[in-house]
Amino acid sequence: MKRIDLHVHSNKSDGTLSPSEVAELAHAQSLCAIALTDHDTIAGIKECQETGRELGLEVIPGIELSADYHGKEIHILGLYLDLSNPILHETLKAFVEAREKRNQEMLAKFQALGFDITEEDLGPRDQLSIIARPHFARAMMNKGYANSMEEVFEKYITPGKPAYVQKAAPTFKTCIDLIHQVGGKAILAHPYIYKFVNQNPLPMLDELRYNGLDGVEVIYPKHYEPETHRLTQYCKSHNLIITGGSDFHGDNKPNLQIGCGYGKTEVPYELLEQFVKA
């Protein structure tokens, strides 16, 4: 079976491999196509596409946007974006500025807790387009304040913990509309990992679909088989695009592999035909 992966991150956001290294790894894993979907940035796509062309790997221009859903955070993937559209660049600049404000507030909280963490510890700013929570977690681990990134998340940077700052995210409708404005398809990422859905994401999907959602990330490493089946039936019933991906982040998710997740996630190439028909 020809395989693809439509949810992949590079070090332009919170992955650890460069866009070129992502393409090389995908090719080494015999993937036919990937979508580079870094958080709130398209900075790595051209590099990834250039390497992909050399290797015969299709690289779909994508993004993962954080969106507000009635006070809760969800993620919406944009696939097949028009990278030349000025609206995309202008809007993403505002998103990055909001992230930077949040990062400064989180940095101040860590310092107030007595941790000697500076901006320089978060990574080389001339190479990073986005600073996110994994950068804080790795900095804490590198400084010897924690034994793992998971420990930092659990103790400090999840909602309710002392260094957490709520992200100022645009509404889900704003994200869907932006993706459509720049020629893309809007896909809800990993519906079953949002704790607030209480194992029933269908009411949320109904509302998102009413507001223009094009598809759902059905195949995902943390989705159980009954959940995948339920989402597949929902998409077929409502003429929504079915996608899938590993959510690869390199060493920031060390047991999660590109193209196969935890070893069992397989996304068939045939799913790309839906984008042609949609």
Q: Are 23 and 45 in contact (CB under 8 A)?
A: no
Which strands, in side-by-side order, build the sheet including 267-268? 241-244, 215-219, 185-188, 72-79, 58-69, 31-36, 3-8, 267-268
Amino acid identity for residue 227 in this structure:
E
Q: Are 127 and 135 in contact (CB under 8 A)?
A: no
Helix (H) or strand (E) holding 20: helix 19-28
Q: Are 26 and 259 in contact (CB under 8 A)?
A: yes
Q: Per the structure block, which two tokens stand in for 221? A: 């490493």
Note the pLDDT tens digit of each residue in 216-248. Answer: 999 999 999 999 999 999 999 999 999 999 999
Per-residue model confidence (pLDDT) at position 96: 84
Strands 185-188 and 72-79: antiparallel
pLDDT means over runs of 10, the chain (278 residues): 96 94 98 97 97 98 96 96 96 88 93 93 73 89 92 93 90 97 98 92 97 98 96 98 98 93 95 82
Per-residue model confidence (pLDDT) at position 40: 92
Per-residue model confidence (pLDDT) at position 80: 98
Q: Dump strand ranges (E) for the chain.
A: 3-8, 31-36, 58-69, 72-79, 185-188, 215-219, 241-244, 267-268
Q: Are 74 and 46 in contact (CB under 8 A)?
A: no
Per-residue model confidence (pLDDT) at position 209: 98
**What is the Cα–Cα distance from 97 to 101, expressed in whole angstroms?**
6
**What is the Cα–Cα distance from 74 to 37, expressed in whole angstroms?**
15
Judged on CB neighbours under 10 Å (0-12, 13-18, 19+), 216 is buried
Superfamily of chain region 3-92+168-277: Metal-dependent hydrolases (3.20.20.140)
Per-residue model confidence (pLDDT) at position 39: 94
Place of tokens 């507030």: 105
